Structure 1
Amino acid sequence: MREFDLEAFLPRFWKALGETLVMTGVSFAAAAVIGILLALWLYASRPGNLLENRVVYAVLNFVINLVRPVPFLIVAIALVGVTRLVFGTGFGPLAATLPLTIVASVAIARVIETNLVAVDAGAVEAGAAMGASPVRVLFTIVIPESLGPMILGLTYIVVALVDATAVAGTLGGGGLGYLALNYGWARFDYTVIWIVVIALVVLVQGLQAIGNRIARSVMH
């Protein structure tokens, strides 16, 4: 085991932590917008729902079911050519945001759709009976009623994204996963690995606590 050098490690750690936060933040922001829009479209176009469209629903459902089961590692490898085309490189934190966004988008779409479907059908029917348009029912009844669970669902996804950024590190994506692999495992420096593990646990716990607090305030 190599002797741990704190002075040399700290700059690498802060850089890796920053890369993890960038990957998580950028991917989550983009995925939240895309995923929520997909979820609203899925919900509204369901058979028998506000804007029923069986073709649209079938296509969206198929695409989400096609992407969702594929492990992030496989998605990232499959999109290396696309990331090179978009970012000029297939490696690094910015390039990793593309597969992270795609995987998170479909996960958010499915989680949010589930929350929307759980809204009391009686409330939706009452809104429609009062003459509200389908779009108004969606934004004034369905979304507000499901907002608390939606925030908890988004919190689950952002935590999963932190885990995925660690996997991205194995593909040269940077971040804490890259630090643990190249400066911990490859050099048999297990102190580095444990510090990274602790940092990830603290980060995840912090994000979960923030999400829980926001959800509680909304539900109250």
Structure 2
Amino acid sequence: MKSLFVTQVGLDGFLLAGKQTLIMVSVSLVIGVILGGIIGITLVLTRPGGIRPNHTIYAILNPIVNVIRSLPFIILLVAIIPLTRLIIGSSIGTAAAIIPLTIYISPFIGRLVETSLLEVDHGIIEAANSIGASTFETVWYFLLPEAKSSLILNFTTATIGLIGATAMAGAIGAGGIGDLAINYGYNRYDNAVLFYCVVILVIVVQAVQMLGNYLAKRVRS
């Protein structure tokens, strides 16, 4: 019987999978933070009782965020295949996975940003208004700095969720650790590959969480 620790996938295979996962996570996270930040700030500004209440914008954006967030990633992955093909020209591969990953993570980050900003003491907003700060200045110089620690922790949570999503993206041949685990570990009954993929993902998630906790602590101190 083959040992659990012996696999036909070499070091190069794991390095390539790690590189693909890193590309998917980093690109979709950067885009997701930008889009999610815009979404979250817009929700905070336009909500009833917000700095710039706007019923129309809030009534449209809020349900869209809820709908996308309610979809399991694997279903979203399949549902937007036509859109992915239109943008990338293919529905398979690392680049193709970035489209659904970005659509998946942006509303999630938007909600996290909204939550962080709503936690800021209302007195901060009153202080900004008292000195005649514009809406942009209120957000950039008052809300975001006050919510910095919470934002870091929430972005850490989003990053971890994104890592898990990239693993599921392996189901459509997106590459990465998930693809390695499915195609080589599960389909070829190579338990060693499954074991190593799980270990790698656990280590990466722990490292991301520790880094997020450290940065949030530094910001608070």
Same fold (TM over 0.5): yes
Paired AA for residue 128 in structure 2 = G
Paired AA for residue 36 in structure 1 = G
Name the SS of the counterpart of 1:27 in structure 2.
Answer: helix
Residue 80 of structure 1, CA deviation: 0.9
Instruction: Provide the C-alpha distance between the structure 1 equivalents of 2:85 and 2:127, rounded to a whole number of angstroms.
Output: 51
Native 8 Å contact 2:24 2:95 kept in 1: yes
Instruction: Provide the C-alpha distance between the structure 2 equivalents of 1:173 and 1:40, rounded to a whole number of angstroms.
Output: 32
Instruction: Provide the C-alpha distance between the structure 1 equivalents of 2:190 and 2:127, rounded to a whole number of angstroms.
Output: 63
- Taking the TM superposition and a 5 Å limit, the aligned residue runs for 1:16-165 are 16-165=17-166
Residue 135 of structure 1, CA deviation: 2.1
Residue 37 of structure 1, CA deviation: 0.9
TM-score normalised by length of structure 1: 0.95
Instruction: Provide the C-alpha distance between the structure 1 equivalents of 2:32 and 2:146, rounded to a whole number of angstroms.
Output: 22
Residue 8 of structure 1, CA deviation: 4.3
Paired AA for residue 173 in structure 1 = A
Native 8 Å contact 2:94 2:175 kept in 1: yes
Confirm whether residue 182 of structure 1 aligns to residue 183 of structure 2: yes
Name the SS of the counterpart of 2:140 in structure 1.
Answer: helix
Superposed CA RMSD: 1.5
Instruction: Provide the C-alpha distance between the structure 2 equivalents of 1:31 and 1:179, rounded to a whole number of angstroms.
Output: 25
Native 8 Å contact 2:43 2:58 kept in 1: yes
Relative distance call for 1:63 and 1:53 in structure 2 (3 A) is same
TM-score normalised by length of structure 2: 0.95
Name the SS of the counterpart of 1:49 in structure 2.
Answer: coil
Instruction: Provide the C-alpha distance between the structure 1 equivalents of 2:160 and 2:10, rounded to a whole number of angstroms.
Output: 25
Relative distance call for 1:46 and 1:11 in structure 2 (3 A) is same
Confirm whether residue 173 of structure 1 aligns to residue 174 of structure 2: yes
Residue 70 of structure 1, CA deviation: 0.2
Work out the number of aligned pairs and report it. Answer: 220
Native 8 Å contact 2:149 2:220 kept in 1: yes
Residue 5 of structure 1, CA deviation: 5.6
Paired AA for residue 189 in structure 1 = D
Instruction: Provide the C-alpha distance between the structure 2 equivalents of 1:54 and 1:48, rounded to a whole number of angstroms.
Output: 10
Greater shift in the superposed pair: 34-43 or 8-17: 8-17
Name the SS of the counterpart of 2:91 in structure 1.
Answer: coil
Instruction: Provide the C-alpha distance between the structure 2 equivalents of 1:63 and 1:2, rounded to a whole number of angstroms.
Output: 50
Native 8 Å contact 2:128 2:138 kept in 1: yes
Instruction: Provide the C-alpha distance between the structure 1 equivalents of 2:134 and 2:179, rounded to a whole number of angstroms.
Output: 50
**Structure 1 residues without counterparts, runs of 5 or longer:** none
Instruction: Provide the C-alpha distance between the structure 1 equivalents of 2:128 and 2:72, rounded to a whole number of angstroms.
Output: 40
**Which 4+ stretches in 1 moved above 3 angstroms?**
1-8
Residue 6 of structure 1, CA deviation: 5.2
Deviations 1:154-191 (A, max 9, x none): 01000110000010001111111111111111121111
Native 8 Å contact 1:2 1:187 kept in 2: no
What residue number does 1:205 align with?
206
Q: Could you tell me the percent identity over the aligned residues? A: 38
